[in-house]
Amino acid sequence: IDIIRSSLGMCPQYNILFNHLTVEEHILFYSLLKGRTQEEISFAHVTGGMQRKLSVAMAFVGGSKVVILDEPTSGVDPYSRRSIWDLLLKYRTVILSTHHMDEADLLSDRIAIISKGQLHCCGSPLFLKNLLILTHVPFSPDFA
């Protein structure tokens, strides 16, 4: 469990932040939880104190090898959304949930479409686009 803890980052759908901690203290706290020493910790520059960006930053501190993100760009402005995308594109193993197909298309090697707890299809963005064109499946809000 210690190996998993030190290599896994998590950003849940809802921010889990402590009101009495600063941005720097949050990053320090989560890095120390992952077994890093204070000398190893480099602080990420987080502007504006936005809680969502801080939650995403905390998922990546401490050298996470696998990161799970639940709607990491939900509620952020377009400029911040693009900055988060740039960060995600630098990492190899990220599991991401999103309601935005443009985000999934840009950031993903593989996309799984799940509705009401059921897997409907899975594949590369190009495979899914071709599947949609070949089957002429009309868009349904219940399916998204």
Tens digits of per-residue pLDDT, 107-141?
Answer: 888 998 888 889 888 999 998 888 877 666 555 55
The average pLDDT across 49-71 equals 79
DSSP letter assigned to residue 13: S
H or E element, residue 67: strand 66-70
pLDDT score at 87: 86
> What confidence tier does 4 reach under pLDDT thresholds 50, 70, 90?
confident
For the chain, how are helix, strand and coil distributed in percent, rounded to 5? 40, 15, 40
Q: Is the pLDDT of residue 143 over 70?
A: no
20: its two tokens: 């009495």
pLDDT score at 35: 80
Q: What is the tens place of the pLDDT at every residue in 13-36?
A: 887 788 888 887 888 888 888 787
Q: Which fold has domain 2-108?
A: Rossmann fold (3.40.50)
HSE on the CB side for 39, CA within 13 Å? 0
- Whether pTM exceeds 0.85: no
In one-letter notation, the amino acid at residue 27 is I
Q: State the Cα angle at 91 between 41 and 126, rounded to 5°.
A: 165
pLDDT score at 48: 36
Q: Where are the domains of the chain?
A: 2-108, 109-144
H or E element, residue 102: helix 101-107
> What confidence tier does 47 reach under pLDDT thresholds 50, 70, 90?
very low
